[in-house]
Amino acid sequence: MFNLILFGPPGSGKGTQSDKIVEKYGLVHLSTGNLLRHEIATKTPLGLEAKSFIDKGQLVPDEVVIGMIDTCLQQNADAKGFLFDGFPRTAAQAVALDKLLSLRKTSISKVIALEVTEEELVKRLLKRGETSGRSDDTDEAIIRKRFAVYKNETEPVADHYKKLDKFVSIKGEGTIDDIFQAICQSIEAEMTAQQEA
């Protein structure tokens, strides 16, 4: 199995690049942000609970998102690999993901981080907020709060994967296609290394 984490701050292009990666490599896309927005749109109790956190730029509690990922892994037992987008975002989520994957006799193959300056991120998110209707994109104060949460709670998760020698950073500014090419090179280098191991 090939299991990839696309890592990076809000607006770094995780969703944009994920669509291209899953199309090319046939991985199952697991985006906790998309899953939570679906719960909100269909007005489930989980969605109502999640909305109160998302609208404030805070993280949804670990047990909620870990439970969602567990369910998705069970529903896709025959997948040839997964692309995790927006997960894990805390140390507890990273530990839980390792456990869930090891129960399935697999593990994370690679973590690719997209690096983008904060100025560019704010510009992208405010622009998207004009048309997407995402409640967490319209207010600059909420966007700044999401960056603070990323710095304090999510950035340290990178160390977990650096220690395992699974982590690479890629410049997330430039054309979408150029960034995708750089991601593909990294994925294919890791796939070759897995085959030769």
Which positions touch ligand AP5 (CB under 6 A)? 8, 10-16, 32-33, 36, 53-54, 57-60, 65, 86-87, 89, 93, 124, 128, 136, 146, 176, 179
CB closer to ligand AP5, 27 vs 36: 36
**Phi, psi angle pair for 114, to nearest 5°:** -100, 125
- The catalytic residues are 14, 89, 128, 134, 146
CB closer to ligand AP5, 20 vs 166: 20
Q: Which residue is nearest to ligand AP5 (CB)?
A: 33
Please give the annotated binding residues, written as ranges.
Answer: 11-16, 32, 37, 58-60, 86-89, 93, 128, 134, 146, 174
Taking the complex as a whole, how short is the minimal distance between the CB of residue 197 and ligand AP5, in angstroms?
A: 29
Taking the complex as a whole, how short is the minimal distance between the CB of residue 194 and ligand AP5, in angstroms?
A: 26
Tally of CB atoms within 10 A around 133: 9
Select from 145, 174, 138, 143 the least CA-distant residue to 11: 143
Taking the complex as a whole, how short is the minimal distance between the CB of residue 160 and ligand AP5, in angstroms?
A: 14
How far apart, in Å, are the Cα atoms of 96 and each of 51, 66, 104, 154? Answer: 23, 7, 13, 15
Q: What is the CA radius of gyration of the chain?
A: 16
- Contact call for residues 161 and 108 (beta carbons, < 8 A): yes
Taking the complex as a whole, how short is the minimal distance between the CB of residue 188 and ligand AP5, in angstroms?
A: 20
CA pair distance 16, 173, nearest whole angstrom: 13
Select from 60, 57, 109 the least CA-distant residue to 84: 109
H or E stretch covering 115: strand 110-115
Select from 69, 121, 130 the least CA-distant residue to 94: 69
